[in-house]
């Protein structure tokens, strides 16, 4: 894959990165195989979090032979610096590394999340110290709430934002428009999640019976290749630098295989018609709602 700039980070990264959940709840040999195949395909950025079950523990040994040649990102949902440091040190140990290339405030969703993370003795105090000490190279956030992401960006010039850049959310509610405008003005890297997702799961039974039980939401069916490619092109078109697949090997390998094709072919009227037609089929299905007073989406 041809490398792309991740905003102002200075990092040149694969346009599809490795979603750490792919290594969750699989045998170590499978994780090793997935990581090796991804590196061979040109993936050089790996993202994981302690909230992804045993993903860190499995990914660490898989990634160890390649660590000096790849970028590694991690996250914390902790809002206070004491518990955040304990979690971060455990992540370093699990992932067999001495540093993170990017570390993110994870799942920023509400005004309380922002207040607590930026308060005295909040997580940001820790992250800024560890950045000065060289344990963290760059700082980012992940969010499902656009308002929460924009509020964080007002408080600190983060290097990256991880956010759902999704055709259905944008068509129906305009989600992502404000954030991509901020990206154009401020230059942070935009890591897009949920680009090939079409809706929420109807229930846990549907999720467990699907080929993607580790995915938070339902991906577009694998046989709908043209629709998947249109959705990927839409995310790049809207402003995403890189895409993060749903957490399973089928989506990971598909998106990596077609990343250059999607970046090299501009989003077209035909893509728009395909997505618009499918939107009419799934628009009444549950998904995220636009930010309201509590921000959480």
pLDDT along the chain (297 residues), means of 10: 96 98 98 98 98 97 98 98 98 98 96 96 98 98 95 98 96 94 97 96 94 95 98 98 96 98 96 97 82 56
* pLDDT of res. 286: 82
* pLDDT of res. 294: 52
Domains by residue range for the chain, with CATH: 4-282 (3.20.20.100)
Q: By three-state DSSP, how is residue 163 classified? A: strand
Nearest to 143 by CA among 192, 199, 198, 95: 192
11 phi/psi in degrees, rounded to 5 = -85, 135
Q: What is each CA distance from 2 to 176, 193, 243, 263, 290, in whole angstroms?
A: 25, 20, 14, 9, 34
Q: How far is CA 152 from the centre of its chain?
A: 17
* pLDDT of res. 112: 94
């Amino acid at each position: 894959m041809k490398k792309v700039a991740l905003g102002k980070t200075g990092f040149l990264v694969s346009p599809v990165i490795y979603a750490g959940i792919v290594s969750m709840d699989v045998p170590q040999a499978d994780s090793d195989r997935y990581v090796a195949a991804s590196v061979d395909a040109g993936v050089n950025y790996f993202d994981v979090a302690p909230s992804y079950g045993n993903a860190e523990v499995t990914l660490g040994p898989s990634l160890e032979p390649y660590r000096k040649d790849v970028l590694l990102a991690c996250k914390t949902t902790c809002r206070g610096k004491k518990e955040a440091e304990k979690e971060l040190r455990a992540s370093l140990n699990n992932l067999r590394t001495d540093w993170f290339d990017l570390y993110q405030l994870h799942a920023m969703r509400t005004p309380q999340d922002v207040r607590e993370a930026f308060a005295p003795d909040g997580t940001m105090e820790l992250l800024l110290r560890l950045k000065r000490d060289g344990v963290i190279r760059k700082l980012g956030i992940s969010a499902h709430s656009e308002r929460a992401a924009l509020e964080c960006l007002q408080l600190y010039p983060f290097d990256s934002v991880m956010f759902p850049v999704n055709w259905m959310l944008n068509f129906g509610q305009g989600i992502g428009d404000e954030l991509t405008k901020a990206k154009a003005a401020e230059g942070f890297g935009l890591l897009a999640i949920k680009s090939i997702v079409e809706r929420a799961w109807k229930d846990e039974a549907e999720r467990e019976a699907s080929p993607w039980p580790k995915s938070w939401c339902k991906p577009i069916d694998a046989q709908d290749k043209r629709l998947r490619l249109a959705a990927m092109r839409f995310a790049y078109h809207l402003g995403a630098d890189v895409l993060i697949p749903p957490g399973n090997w089928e989506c990971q390998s598909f998106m990596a295989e077609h990343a250059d094709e999607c970046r090299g072919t501009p989003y077209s009227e035909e893509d728009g018609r395909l997505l618009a037609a499918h939107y009419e089929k799934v628009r009444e299905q549950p998904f995220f709602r636009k930010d309201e007073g509590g921000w959480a989406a």
